[in-house]
């Protein structure tokens, strides 16, 4: 199973696999199967278990990793710094507004 970031990428990956003779199916990832998301949200590209290694190899040869992480957690220190900066700017605006 490969994970595509969105619908456009999900439609491209099966074409790459088909060139290698590997059939595949696209489905919305769990938790993103709401029709209102339209083309947004990750998709799973499914292949037969016996063709999984061949599919991974084909995707790796194209420069596309087999299973990249969809969501990466932000760096906690950068997040804390941005939050403190936003609070400081907000406090400054309020302080100037009340003067």
Q: What domains are there in the chain, each with its CATH number?
A: 2-73 (3.30.70)
Please identify which residue in the block is written with the tokens 């209102």: 36
Q: Which of 69, 7, 3 is nearest to 40 (CA)?
A: 7
Q: What is the pLDDT of residue 52?
A: 86
pTM to 2 decimal places: 0.50
Distance of CA 71 to the CA centre of its chain: 6
- The Cα 81–Cα 8 span in angstroms is 35
* Cα 26 to Cα 7: distance, rounded to the nearest angstrom: 9
Residue 88, token pair as written in the block = 């400081």
CB-based contact 42:32 (threshold 8 Å): yes
Tell me if 42 sits within 8 A of 4, measured CB to CB.
Answer: yes
Task: For residues 63-84, give the mean pLDDT.
Answer: 72
CB-based burial, 14-25: b 16+ in 10 Å, e otherwise: bebbeeeebebe
pLDDT given at position 93:
95
> Mind listing the pLDDT tens digit for each residue in 17-73?
888 899 988 887 776 666 666 667 788 888 888 988 888 888 777 665 555 544 566
pLDDT at position 60 is: 78
């Amino acid at each position: 199973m490969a994970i595509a970031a969105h619908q456009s990428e999900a439609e491209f990956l099966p074409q790459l696999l088909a060139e290698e003779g590997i059939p595949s199916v696209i489905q919305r990832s769990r938790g993103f199967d709401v029709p209102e998301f339209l083309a947004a949200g990750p998709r799973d590209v499914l292949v037969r278990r016996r063709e999984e290694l061949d599919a991974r190899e084909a995707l790796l040869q194209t420069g596309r990793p087999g299973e990249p992480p969809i969501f990466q957690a932000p760096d906690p220190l950068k997040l804390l710094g941005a939050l403190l900066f936003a609070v400081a700017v907000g406090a400054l605006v309020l302080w100037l507004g009340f003067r």
